[in-house]
Amino acid sequence: MSSEETSELKPLNIAILTVSDSRGAAEDTSGQYLEDQVVEAGHQLIARRILPDDVYLVRALMAGWIADPDIHAVIITGGTGFHERDSTPEAVAPLLDKTIDGFGEEFRRLSAAEIGTSTIQSRAFGGLANHTVIFCLPGSTGACRTGWNGILSSQLDSRHGPCNFSALALRKPQAPYQRLHEKIGSRGTR
């Protein structure tokens, strides 16, 4: 984290994943809300996907996004509850280098004002992997609004002080990944 404040936004490349067994693009109001907020805040939406609540599908996509040098942050909506199919924490947690414990704590504190003690059933969490910051929110649009307005909009903004995740995400390694692609490309296979 950095205490360095800037007067100009340093936009991040952000990917959004909706984890749901029942939502398609037309029903994905949470993903759409997050996309709208990311773009309105001046960041670049680099990818948006919807996957069923399957540990291995989510983990595979996330591993690719974490390795991608062009993705600085990932916001996931859905799969953080206690239904037997909710598996976002189980899919993502093994990929993390560090957890952002304060994210889940602050999210539940903020949502308690809206939904009372039901907030204890949220397994919202955040973490860091390969300089990619990852935030996992519940699937409701209201929860995404709470997470974005109360935490993410400032923590992804390079102008926010005394600290934010922008400087850390912008230091994501580039060279080894690019060399790998060049090597693969030179053999003519992908």
Chain segment 92-137, per-residue pLDDT in tens: 999 999 999 999 999 999 999 999 898 888 999 999 999 999 999 9
The β-bridge relationship of strands 44-51 and 73-77 is unpaired
Rounded to an integer, what distance in angstroms lies between the CA atom of residue 80 and that of residue 111? 14
Could you tell me if residue 24 is inside a domain? yes
Number of domains comprising the chain: 1
Could you tell me if residue 6 is inside a domain? no
Could you tell me if residue 138 is inside a domain? yes
Q: How far apart are the first and last CA of the chain?
A: 36
Of 13-22, 68-77, 158-167, 181-190, which gets the smallest average pLDDT? Answer: 181-190
Residue 127 belongs to domain spanning: 13-186
Could you tell me if residue 7 is inside a domain? no
Is residue 163 helix, strand or coil?
Answer: coil
Q: What DSSP character marks residue 170?
A: T
CATH number at residue 148: 3.40.980.10
The pair phi, psi for residue 123, each rounded to 5°, is -105, 35
